[in-house]
Structure 1
Amino acid sequence: MTITKDKRHFSTLMRDTNRAFLPLEKQAEATLEVGFVLQPHFSLASFTAAVDTLVTANLVCTTPLFRYQSYAIEASPVLSDLGIEIATQGSLNTLIDQPLPDLLIICGGYRCSTQPNTALTRLLKLADKQDRLIGSLWNGAIALAHAGLLDQLNCALHPDNHAYMHEQFPKVNVSKQVSIIEGKRLTSAGPMSAMGMMLTLISQLRGNDVTRAVREIISCDQLSESSDVQINPLEDNPRLPQNLRDIMTLMAANIEEPMSLEELAACAGVSRRQIERLFQSHLETSPGRYYLELRITHARRLLLQSNESITSITLACGFVSTSHFSNCYKDYFGVSPSHAREQAR
């Protein structure tokens, strides 16, 4: 009888951190086509925040979830609010002559015109007729309002345009929220909310696992009330009990020479059983499994981001031998350390 070894799977917390490097999984979902219409003086920060979120979603999944293209109102390139020109894949005329994308997003900006554009209005009405998702960045919602696509709906847009929207489009419910997805309409007010809107869309389309993995990558320095923003590792999560965070900190500080559970318990002033309960209750894993996944994640970063030898990485991450490290790495990531490095290069 042949005994097959089960492949290891990361626990939830560490799976999000490593998702982009895990083996391919079959995915049945079709790729969502996204078209960004860039108005002259559009907000480059809002546009790139939205695009970056979609691109990152593709990185953490095994097959592309999104494909995107950008379009000019008239001619490419389009001048952004920062004076940087962005080349597009076509114009509104190009869109009219081909199947419309699944999601059409109008990119506005602080100095974008609030006046109706006949070609854009016609395109938006066609997209609505074809039951497409339609969204906006900054004050791009004004274009949707001109096309009559926000009547009786809530919408988000930059505060500077609230008064105009109230005055010109009384049927539109202007919200104080920074982003809203209501039915087939997606609206956001600025760069950070553009990212938030796309994360919400990804969650609705692909689930929380993918969303958490994307957020893990792009939100490490998200703005807080303090100007002294720091990048917080997993063990600094304020929602976790302090004694659990202390143990996680000890583990992170002792990668090269892993501590035993008894040593961790003595340093943290809790019993071994308490540690096991804390990890199971709050992280849904065992302390031993978390510690191993922490070390293998550290090894993955050194392997793909440095030129250190595999032997050196083995020792730096507390593995007893290169064969033990190689087996663990392959169990989790599906390839040997040497093959993973070759793929990265």
Structure 2
Amino acid sequence: MKLRNQRLLQDVTCSRSAPLDVAFVLLEHFSLPAFTSGLDALVTANLLRDDPFYRLHTCGLNDGSVRSDLGIDIMPGLTLAELDPAQCDLLIVCGGYRVMLEEIPKLNDLLRRAAQQGCRLGSLWNGSYFLASAGVMEGHRCTIHPENAALFSETFPALELSRAPLVVEEARLSSASAASALDMMLEGMRQRHGEDLARSVEEILACERPATPSPWHVEQTLPAPDSHLPEALRSILELMSSNLEEPLSMTDISHCVSLSRRQIERLFTRHLDTTPSRHYLEMRLTRARQLLTQGNASITDVTVACGFVSTTHFSHCFRDYFGMSPTRARQRC
């Protein structure tokens, strides 16, 4: 309680550390809810004493304002050229649903210099894509928004992508959505300032916790089978999800789950109102749509990555399902 009340206490014994510099790099169409959730934790911590725990900075790629995903423009205090990573304790790349996932050379340069100088690096939503693009994620785990997981895995196959809502290591922090951004910042706060400060911020913000606690580092957020489905069906769906590039035959699936083909078909009809082969195809087409609309992979590469025997077959299936060709889908997005 002393920490929560130290602003008004005259004989505070809590240690007085110098403020840590935290910089948020705002990309065009960044997630405003994710940014403000993460920022809220730090601002709240600063309210607990006259000398702030953090000095906060916002940074844009260029001069001028940056438009958020909600259409609200934010005017950053710095540009990339003006930000000195040697002065930062933590540098966070703020992504969002409509952020273009493509290489940004000057951001790569900043992130590499920051990593070399021992600055911690973080990401919100799909910001970990840019950390990976800069080559600063080797030896580190990270997470990313579920919609961008397919592209990340295809582009950076050597990196370990977690299915957790957030991953917090000593030197790297990542959050997959606005909902987990606050928890990511609180975990980072615990690393630097200890449990008392983080707990005080949690209490002030009235952070809600699930009735049945689940460790943040194991909670699943990437697409996973509905927990209400029968265990056998969930196992089949997991098998399908893990084998999109080289689809399993029904015989293989039947052998893996020790069920007959007819039993499997009944499960899909009863619980998903579809056939196993149709559902498997839709999973592969969904992955194809993600790869096509978020990256620059060729149609041939997408065809192979999603387990189709030829580009002609892939294009035919894609058009039947989405009502347009793969090329048209890419142009629309």
**2:68 maps to amino acid:** S
Residue 156 in structure 1 maps to residue 152 in structure 2: no
RMSD value, Cα: 2.1
What is the match of residue 110 of structure 1? Answer: 97
Q: Please list the CA deviations of residues 8-28 of structure 1 after superposition, one character each: whole Å capped at 9, or x if unmatched.
A: xxxxxx557645544463633
Q: Please list the CA deviations of residues 288-308 of structure 1 after superposition, one character each: whole Å capped at 9, or x if unmatched.
A: xxxxxxxxxxxxxxxxxxxxx
What is the match of residue 212 of structure 1? Answer: 199
CA distance in 2 between counterparts of 1:184 and 1:134 reads 6
5+ residue gaps, structure 2, are 212-333
Q: Is the 8 A contact 1:141 1:157 kept in 2?
A: yes
- Choose the corresponding residue for 1:143, options 117, 124, 130: 130
Residue 39 in structure 1 maps to residue 41 in structure 2: no
**CA distance 1:16–1:212, shift in 2 (3 Å):** farther
Q: Please list the CA deviations of residues 65-110 of structure 1 after superposition, one character each: whole Å capped at 9, or x if unmatched.
A: 10111010122210000000001111111125x8442211100000
1:63-212 alignment, distance < 5 Å: 63-95=51-83, 99-212=86-199
Q: Is the 8 A contact 1:121 1:143 kept in 2?
A: yes
TM-score normalised per structure 2? 0.59
Q: State the Cα distance separating 1:212 from its structure 2 match.
A: 1.1
**1:82 maps to amino acid:** L
CA distance in 2 between counterparts of 1:133 and 1:87 reads 24
Please identify runs of 4+ aligned residues in structure 1 that moved more than 4 A: 14-21
**1:63 maps to amino acid:** D
Q: Please list the CA deviations of residues 41-75 of structure 1 after superposition, one character each: whole Å capped at 9, or x if unmatched.
A: 00000111111100111112342110111010122
Q: Please list the CA deviations of residues 171-195 of structure 1 after superposition, one character each: whole Å capped at 9, or x if unmatched.
A: 2111011111123111111122111
Q: Is the 8 A contact 2:66 2:73 kept in 1?
A: yes
5+ residue gaps, structure 1, are 1-13, 226-345
Q: Secondary structure at the match of 2:58?
A: strand
**1:93 maps to amino acid:** A
**CA distance 1:99–1:148, shift in 2 (3 Å):** closer
What is the match of residue 319 of structure 2? Answer: none
Q: State the Cα distance separating 1:31 from its structure 2 match.
A: 0.9
Q: Is the 8 A contact 2:170 2:191 kept in 1?
A: no
**CA distance 1:16–1:191, shift in 2 (3 Å):** farther
Residue identity (%)? 40
What is the match of residue 329 of structure 1? Answer: none
What is the match of residue 61 of structure 1? Answer: 49
Q: State the Cα distance separating 1:224 from its structure 2 match.
A: 5.1
CA distance in 1 between counterparts of 2:161 and 2:130 reads 14
Q: Is the 8 A contact 2:144 2:174 kept in 1?
A: yes
Q: Secondary structure at the match of 1:134?
A: strand
TM-score normalised per structure 1? 0.57
What is the match of residue 17 of structure 2? Answer: 29
CA distance in 2 between counterparts of 1:24 and 1:85 reads 43
User: Which one has more relative contact order, counting CA pairs under 8 Å at least 6 apart?
Assistant: 1
